[in-house]
Every structure is written in C-alpha cells, then in structure tokens.
C-alpha cells in the first residue's frame, strides 16, 4: 500500500469522511435532469396530463440562448396568468409541482385549492444575477420559471413579495411550497437568498448543482 493511500485512509478516519452541507446548498450530486426524451414523447406526456400547449419552433441566438423542445403553455394543471414559453421537460415538471406540491400545501394551510398561479416568465436571454452573457441564466434556455403569486378558489391572493414573511397561514403555505419544490427542481431560490428574489420563487431544472433556499 502506498504512503499516499495510507495518509488518505488516516484522514478519512479522523474526519469520518463526512461532508458538511448547508440548508442553502444541500447536495452537489444530482440525478440526470432528464433522460434523452424525444419531443414526441414529451408532447405525449403533456397530452396525457391535459396540459394546453402549443409547439413552437426551436431557436438559438448569437449569444447562445434559445430553447430546445419548445412549447408555449396556455394552461397547465392550474391556470396561469399568461402564456409562457419554456422547454417541454420543464412543463412536465411544473405540472408535478402544481399537483403534488402546490395544491396539497394550499389545502393543508389554507383549506382551499389554488385556481391561478402567476409567474414572471420562463425564457429570458440574460446572464445570471450580476453576471454577463458568458454566464447565462437557466432562463436563457427556458429551463427556469419565476413564480410570483397564487390565487385561491375563494379569491384570496398570496404573493411572494407581500406574504413570504407572513407569520400565519399564507407564509406557511409559501414556505411549504418552496420546501416541496426542492424535491423536484435542481435549484429553488427564494427571498431568503437575496433582494433580487424578494418577489418570486425561482425554480429551475437546468443547473448542474443543487441549491435549496427555502
């Protein structure tokens, strides 16, 4: 056994070879974002889920932005505030988010179902916060969605801007939604992260790392 290997074993014994994680960055090991699903298979999934969508031609910009397997979502499991361009795979994940996380959290905390979910968009050819176009955001590929507000069946609105720090049921709902989103998105960024996210929850499936900032 080489001396280097011996030292490695000693170091592991002393440290138990454990890694320290924070609530903000829980794991750097992720499953693949998606198997190599064809656009036909993805569209069949949207059809099966009864998502109302339009297929849009893929494109690429000189900066490297653009969406593969592009769709425009008109209506998902929950009504949206406007039609939104994104990758087909993101659309399937958002459907899971709506049905398996948002609606159960609304029922538990507010005794109501959500009838509308508002977002500030998905596709946007831009750099990361404070970054240049050589550090493209996942919005640049239609792989991220910024959720801003929820409207309940009884007409009550819950907004990230106004209710994230609410000590009652509205705040509990938003925090449960963000925590649940961490199970299915690679990156979840909330107002806890910085002022740039004070009015929305950023959800993305494109990043190669895991951030969970609920």
Report how far Cα 42 is from the mean position of its chain's Cα atoms.
Answer: 18
Determine which of 30-39, 81-90, 192-201 has the lowest per-residue pLDDT on average. Answer: 30-39
* Residue 12 confidence (pLDDT): 37
Q: Are 85 and 94 in contact (CB under 8 A)?
A: no
Q: Are 112 and 156 in contact (CB under 8 A)?
A: yes
Locate the domains of the chain by residue range. Answer: 20-212
| Beta bridge pairs of residue 73 | 53, 84
- Beta-carbon count within 10 A of 91 CB: 26
Domain 20-212 sits in CATH at 3.30.1380
pLDDT mean across residues, the chain: 85
State the pTM of this model. 0.81
**Contacts of 46 by beta carbon, 8 Å cutoff, 6+ apart:** 53, 71, 88, 91, 92, 95
* Model pLDDT for residues 146-202, shown as the tens digit of each residue: 999 999 999 999 999 999 999 999 999 999 999 999 999 999 999 998 888 999 999
């Amino acid at each position: 056994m080489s001396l280097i290997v011996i030292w490695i074993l000693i170091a592991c014994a002393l440290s138990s070879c454990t890694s320290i994680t924070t609530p903000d960055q829980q794991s750097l090991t992720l499953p693949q974002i998606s198997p190599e699903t064809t656009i036909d298979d993805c569209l069949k999934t949207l059809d099966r889920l009864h998502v109302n969508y339009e297929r849009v031609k893929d494109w690429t910009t000189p900066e490297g932005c653009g969406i593969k397997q592009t769709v425009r979502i008109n209506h998902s499991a929950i009504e949206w505030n406007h039609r939104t361009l994104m990758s087909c795979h993101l659309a399937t994940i958002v459907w899971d988010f709506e049905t398996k996380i948002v609606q159960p959290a609304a029922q538990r905390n507010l005794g109501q179902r959500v009838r509308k979910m508002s977002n500030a968009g998905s596709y946007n050819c831009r750099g990361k916060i404070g970054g240049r176009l050589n550090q493209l955001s996942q919005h640049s590929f239609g792989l991220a969605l910024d959720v801003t507000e929820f409207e309940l069946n009884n007409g009550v609105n819950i907004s990230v801007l106004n209710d994230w720090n609410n000590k009652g049921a509205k705040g509990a709902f938003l925090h449960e939604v963000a925590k649940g989103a961490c199970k299915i998105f690679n990156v979840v960024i909330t107002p806890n992260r910085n002022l740039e996210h004070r009015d929305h929850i950023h959800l993305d499936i494109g990043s190669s790392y895991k951030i969970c900032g609920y």
